[in-house]
Chains A and B, each alone.
Chain A
C-alpha cells in the first residue's frame, strides 16, 4: 500500500531523514521506533505532505505522491493523527469529527443547508466507536488530555482513511489510558481492516501490537522486520536498545 524509497530531507544542513525506506502492506500494523531526533516525525510529515522531500519516492497505492499538497494526499485515502494534539479548540467534539466527515464527503462547500443535518450519522458512529459519544457537545479545547488524544484519532478516522498514520498516539497518557488506546488501535485494525502506521516510544506497546517494526537511527532505517527479529538484531541492540558488550 505504501512504499517509501531512499527519502531525504535536511533542515539547515542537518539531515533529519537520510535515505530512509519503508514498506507498509495492506491490513498491516507497522511501527516506526527510534530514539528522540531519529527523524520519525519528519518521516511522517514527509509522507503526509506537510514537508516536501528533497530526494526519494513515496509511492501510495501505486502513485508517487512525494511533494504533493497535504489536502490532495489526504483525499487519496491517508489520514494522520498528530503527536501534539492538533484540534479545533473552539468547535464542539461533534464538530471536530464532523468537519473531517464533511471533507471526506466533499460537502465543505455546501452553503444552503444546515450543518446540523449533514453527516450526522457518520459522525455519531465514529464518536461511539472511540467512546466519546457522551462528550459530543463539549468544546474540544475543554477536554482532558487523554480524551483529546482519543478525539485526535477520531478526527483522523472522519476521513475514512485506508492508511491511518499515528504519531505517538499514547504520548503523555496514563497507563489506563494507554491500555484503552492500544485496545482501540487493535479494534481499528481487526474490525475496520485499517492499515496502520505509527511511531511510539513505548516499547511494550510497539512489540505487543505491531506486525512489523522499522527501526530508525540518525535519519536512516536500520531494519524493517517482525518484532522478534528486531529484538534479536545486534545492530538495533547497539544503536537503540542500549545493549552492548
Chain B
C-alpha cells in the first residue's frame, strides 16, 4: 500500500466529512441531496473498480457490467417476484460477484492488455443479453417505476441509506486492502513474476480480488436502483466503464480515497458544465490530457506525495 491514511488526522478528517454529510439534508435543497446520493453511488462503483486497477494492477476495462448486473438483479427481484425486499438487497451483490467469478475465471488466464480486451468482450456479451432479452429485462426500455420499501421512498430516506452503505463498504474495503491479502494483491500488481517465485498463486489471488470488487459493484448497482427506481441497459454499456476508469486515474489510483474525488469531480462537471454545453466531455477530455502530462498519479496521488517526507516518496518507473 502506497499511501497510508490510517493516521489520526485522516480519521478525524473522514469523521468531520461524515458529520457534515449527515446534517446536510436538513439544510440544503433536495436537488443537491439527490446529486450527492448519485455521487455516493458512483464513488462506490469507482472505489470497487480501483481495488482491481489501482491496487491489483488488473485492467478491468468493463467494470460497469457488474454494476448493471447488480441493478438488474435488484430490479427484477422487486418487480418479478413477491419475495421480501431484503432478498433483493442480498441477491444483487451475490449475483454480480457470481458473474464476476465467471468472467474473471477466463480473464485471469491472460495478462495486462489481453486481460482487459477479453474482459471488454465478455462484458459486452452480458450487455447484449440484457439489451436483447425483452421478455425478462424489457430490452432497451429497461425497467422503470420500481417500488422500493417505504423507508426509502423519500429523497432523504434513500440518501441516508446510500450514505450508510457507502461508509460500511468503504470501511470493509479499507480493511481488505490493508489485510495480508491486500498487501499480497499490491505485490502482485508491482511484480506478478516475483510473486510466483515466492510461492503465491497469482491467478487465484487475482480471481478472489475480482469476486470481491464485483460484489461491491453489485451493491453500487442496487443503490442506483434505490435512488433512481429504474434500470436500463446503459448501466452495462462500455461508456460508463470508461468513465469510472477515468475517475480512478483522475482522483489518484494508487491512493485509497482517490476514486471518490475523481467521481465527485466528474459528476459535478457533468451537471454544471452540462448546463452550458452538451459537450461537457470535452472539458473532461482536456482535464484528462493535463492529468496525463502533469499529474500521472492523479490529484490525490500528487498531494499525498507532497505531504510525505522527502526520501520515501520517489518511486521510479517500475
Contact = CB atoms under 8 A, between A and B. Distances in A.
A80 B196 CA distance: 11
17 contacts: A71-B198, A80-B197, A86-B194, A90-B190, A90-B315, A95-B186, A99-B187, A99-B200, A110-B181, A114-B178, A115-B180, A115-B182, A139-B314, A142-B312, A142-B313, A155-B194, A158-B198
A113 B318 CA distance: 29
A118 B180 CA distance: 7
Interface of B: 1-2, 175-176, 178-184, 186-187, 189-191, 193-202, 205, 208, 254, 311-316, 318
A87 interface: yes
B175 A141 contact: no
B318 A89 contact: yes
Contacts of B197: 48, 50, 70-71, 74, 79-80, 82, 86
Interface stretch (A101-109, A198-206, A232-240): A101-109
Interface in A72-99: 72, 74-75, 79-80, 82, 86-92, 95-96, 98-99
Contact of A110 (B180, B187, B313): B180
Instruction: Indicate the member of B181, B187, B208, B312 with the most A CB atoms within 10 Å.
Output: B187
A43 to B, nearest CB: 16
Interface in A96-142: 96, 98-100, 102-104, 107-116, 118-119, 137-139, 141-142
B163 to A, nearest CB: 24
A interface, size bucket: 35 or more
Contacts of A86: 191, 193-194, 197
Contact of A142 (B1, B182, B314): B314
B184 A99 contact: yes
B184 A108 contact: yes
A89 B198 contact: no
B179 A155 contact: no
A139 B312 contact: yes
A88 B191 contact: yes
A159 interface: yes
Nearest to B318: A89
Nearest to B186: A91
Contact of B187 (A75, A91, A107): A91
Given A107-B180, A138-B312, A90 B198 contact: no
Contacts of A91: 1-2, 183, 186-187, 190
B318 A141 contact: yes
Contact of B254 (A69, A90, A99, A116): A90
A109 B254 contact: no
Given A99-B195, A108-B181, 17 more contacts: A50-B193, A70-B196, A74-B197, A88-B187, A89-B318, A90-B186, A91-B190, A99-B198, A104-B199, A108-B184, A109-B205, A112-B179, A114-B175, A115-B183, A138-B312, A139-B2, A142-B311
A89 B2 CA distance: 10
Nearest to B308: A139
Nearest to A114: B178
Contacts of A103: 184, 195, 198-200
